[in-house]
């Protein structure tokens, strides 16, 4: 019997959410929308996908300061808390605070700590054997660094959630399908072999944060445990899925983690205003289904996603898939999304399949241009990373 089933008879699918999180918001000019979690929950609830004997909702616990200091510096946390309360100093500029993507606003510290607490709570539910899947849609702040905010991210909940698991002696494989490179998470575990990070993202040559190239492979004992697959603008479902199958699946198999963590950023969807990949949510759901088949506990977070309707529908679909409610039976069944640039789907339908996008066919230019570029990246990763893990 797996370790995670030893403590209770039936671990559940856990949705981590607090209505109190709805009280906080970034400034209106910032595209990061904190209401996405509530809207995701509303979709799931309307389709009766939150209830049942195999699932439950959990209210997050607030993390204490000592937990936050496992990754972030005390000086940074002090400054973040003080500026959030309206007490400013010149120090916050050097910490990435007060910028266009990391503004200071009232109750900022309260929001980011409870969002972080939700991911830590999800990790604890897995460790306690109460959850086989735990999803925090408010999480995914993968750009935050120990003493610097970046890319809408102030406290790195992903790092702290994974640390909760590694502190208990668990080996973690982290997959990030957000369109931006997971630079903060990579930094945290760059020299450690107990966390294998795999990031699929639009190339840093064309998108923030300008990192995440195949030669960023880790250091010391962690050499070979940092895997980056940068993708060209215009990458579409078929090519992305081919890269995932050829890179991630063999590494997950050979690494054999105790827990799989995944950031389900939805900003790789076609039509997202901040990026240029051209995925439909079929890719997100199919990746989640492939990961589910490894029969490991899964810690999932949200992440980016700035077309709000498409993002919340994708997260609802992915959570339903994690729970075993959706299968890739007919991609043409989707009633809206990126193909129609709308969220017109059959909301009265009880099947999660109704949340899927229609197929978005690439044009001939992209069909000719994109595959060779992605193949070159895959070949480089297989040449440099795979031998370290005994893969051909």
User: According to the model, what pLDDT value does residue 4 have?
Assistant: 61
Question: Maximum distance among all alpha carbons in the chain?
Answer: 56
- From the candidates 142, 143, 145, 180, give the one annotated as an active-site residue: 143
CA distance 183 to 209: 8
- Quote the CATH superfamily of domain 8-389: Histone deacetylase domain (3.40.800.20)
* Tokens (6 digits) for 130: 């109460």
Q: What pLDDT is stored for residue 85 in this prediction?
A: 85
Supply 148's token pair: 């610097």
Q: Tokens 């909940």, residue?
A: 157
Tens-of-pLDDT digits for all 392 residues of the chain? 676 666 656 889 999 999 988 899 999 999 999 999 999 999 999 999 999 999 999 999 999 999 999 999 999 999 999 988 888 877 888 999 999 999 999 899 999 999 999 999 999 999 999 999 999 999 999 999 999 999 999 999 999 999 999 999 999 999 999 999 999 999 999 999 999 999 999 999 999 999 999 999 999 999 999 999 999 999 999 999 999 999 999 999 999 999 999 999 999 999 999 999 999 999 999 999 999 999 999 999 999 999 999 999 999 999 999 999 965 544 434 444 544 444 443 333 457 888 999 999 999 999 999 999 999 999 999 999 999 999 99
In this prediction, residue 91 carries a pLDDT of: 81
Residue length, the chain? 392
| b/e per residue 204-232 (b: at least 16 CB within 10 A) | beebbbebbbbebbbeeebebbbbbbbbb
Q: Which H helix or E strand runs over 220?
A: none
State the pLDDT at residue 10: 81
Domain ranges across the chain: 8-389
Among this protein's residues, is 107 annotated catalytic? Answer: no
270: nearest Cα among 285, 256, 280, 284 = 280
């Amino acid at each position: 019997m797996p370790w995670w089933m030893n403590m209770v008879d039936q671990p559940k699918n856990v949705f981590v959410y607090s209505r109190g999180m709805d009280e906080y918001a970034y400034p209106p000019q910032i595209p990061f929308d904190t209401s996405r979690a509530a809207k995701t929950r509303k979709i799931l609830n309307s389709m009766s996908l939150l209830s049942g004997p195999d699932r439950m909702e959990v209210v997050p616990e607030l993390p204490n300061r000592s937990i936050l200091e496992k990754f972030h510096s005390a000086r940074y946390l002090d400054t973040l808390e003080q500026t959030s309360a309206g007490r400013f100093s010149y120090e916050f500029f050097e910490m990435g605070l007060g910028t266009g993507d990391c503004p200071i606003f009232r109750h900022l510290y309260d929001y980011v700590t409870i969002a972080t607490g939700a991911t830590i709570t999800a990790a604890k539910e897995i460790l306690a054997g109460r959850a086989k899947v735990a999803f925090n849609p408010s999480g995914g702040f993968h750009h935050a660094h120990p003493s610097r905010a970046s890319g809408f991210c102030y406290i790195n909940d992903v790092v702290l959630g994974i640390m909760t698991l590694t502190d208990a002696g668990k080996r973690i494989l982290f997959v990030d399908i957000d369109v931006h490179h997971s630079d903060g998470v990579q930094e945290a575990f760059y020299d450690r072999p107990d966390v294998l990070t795999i990031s699929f993202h639009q190339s840093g040559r064309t998108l923030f944060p300008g990192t995440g190239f195949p030669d960023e492979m880790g250091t010391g004992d962690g050499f070979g445990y940092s895997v980056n697959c940068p993708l060209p603008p215009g990458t579409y479902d078929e090519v992305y899925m081919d890269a995932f199958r050829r890179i991630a699946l063999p590494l997950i198999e050979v690494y054999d983690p105790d827990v799989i963590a995944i950031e389900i950023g939805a900003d790789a969807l076609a039509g997202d205003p901040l990026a240029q990949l051209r995925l439909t949510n079929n890719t997100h759901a199919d990746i989640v289904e492939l990961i589910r088949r490894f029969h490991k506990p899964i810690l999932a977070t949200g992440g980016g996603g700035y077309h709000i309707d498409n993002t919340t529908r994708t997260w609802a679909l992915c959570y339903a898939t994690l729970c075993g409610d959706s299968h890739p039976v007919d991609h043409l069944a989707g009633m809206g999304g990126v193909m129609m640039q709308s969220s017109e789907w059959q909301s009265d339908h009880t099947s999660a399949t109704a949340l899927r996008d229609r197929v978005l066919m690439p044009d001939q230019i992209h069909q000719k241009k994109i595959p060779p570029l992605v193949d070159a990246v895959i070949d480089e990763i297989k040449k440099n990373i795979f031998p370290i893990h005994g893969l051909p």
